[in-house]
Chains A and B, each alone.
Chain A
């Protein structure tokens, strides 16, 4: 394809779906998200089944701290909004502002991840609650850790895109990439909504 095809003088309204490749990426990514939903459902199902099996170790209502979870929730929810802002600027063909808001998203994501690492370290060193303590422990760390792994991957993904395309500016080749990374980031927040509800809040209620 000639350079002009991917860098048109006037950007289309939806640059992420203006090329066939963009359309394919968009569709395939939603197919992937359907699969991710099943993956997390099996982890949630396992957690619910093993939640009461504490093997003499700490139970959910004893260790969870809602203040920390609340701060984490706010960080991730806000980062979802900032990535919406990034996509808003992408659609208006404003590359600088898109990069700026993606940067804010990454910072909020790093904040979330740091709190999660602090939380796990605290459980392991002060509460004697590890992956091997009980079936509840294994299920908890697998579910929440898997989500944390998704956050880590999402952060690396967005940072890579930002650096790789920093000098290219926005075009029809990289717009789908940015759009899909932002969809992934929203999906991470979707999963977190269920984690803070089912694991932490319902765990505290008992």
Chain B
């Protein structure tokens, strides 16, 4: 029994370490994305494609944050994902509405 529980905690430790490794890779990528975003603006690249690339970088970085740092990739996160995407849907509609009434 004792050895059994030890091996399971060993297994969990290994699993935690594995997850930590993924999170470190995520962090490195997020730093790289931030550097790209800032340098594109500092070196004054063409506005026409800087803005869409900036937005894409931000979205990817947030996806990393949500799925890896906040564990949304894990199995027991169906309801949290539902809650969050519910909020995100209303958020999108809100920004869309405010943009349309301003610039249409």
B51 and A66 form a contact (CB under 8 A): no
Given contacts A30-B83, A88-B20, A197-B37, 20 further A-B contacts (CB under 8 A): A10-B5, A26-B80, A37-B87, A37-B90, A38-B90, A38-B91, A40-B91, A41-B92, A42-B98, A49-B99, A81-B27, A84-B23, A186-B70, A187-B70, A190-B62, A193-B65, A197-B54, A197-B58, A202-B54, A205-B41
Nearest CB in chain A: distance from B48 CB, A? 10
Partner of B23, one of A77, A81, A205: A81
With A26-B80, A74-B34, A194-B58: A88-B16 Cβ-Cβ less than 8 Å:
yes
Total chain B interface residues with beta-carbon distance under 8 A? 50
With A34-B83, A45-B99, A88-B16: A193-B58 Cβ-Cβ less than 8 Å:
yes
What CA separation (Å) do A109 and B41 show in the bound complex?
25
- Cβ of A36: which chain B residues have Cβ within 8 Å of it? 87
B86 and A34 form a contact (CB under 8 A): yes
- Cβ of A206: which chain B residues have Cβ within 8 Å of it? 47
A201 and B38 form a contact (CB under 8 A): yes
Total chain A interface residues with beta-carbon distance under 8 A? 48
A45 and B98 form a contact (CB under 8 A): yes
What CA separation (Å) do A133 and B98 show in the bound complex?
22
**B12, B42, B54, B70: most-surrounded residue (chain A CB, <10 A):** B70
What CA separation (Å) do A36 and B70 show in the bound complex?
15
26 A-B contact pairs sorted by A residue (CB < 8 Å): A13-B12, A27-B79, A30-B83, A33-B84, A34-B87, A35-B87, A36-B87, A37-B88, A41-B92, A41-B95, A45-B94, A45-B99, A49-B102, A70-B38, A73-B34, A77-B34, A80-B65, A81-B27, A85-B20, A92-B16, A183-B70, A186-B65, A190-B65, A197-B37, A198-B58, A205-B51
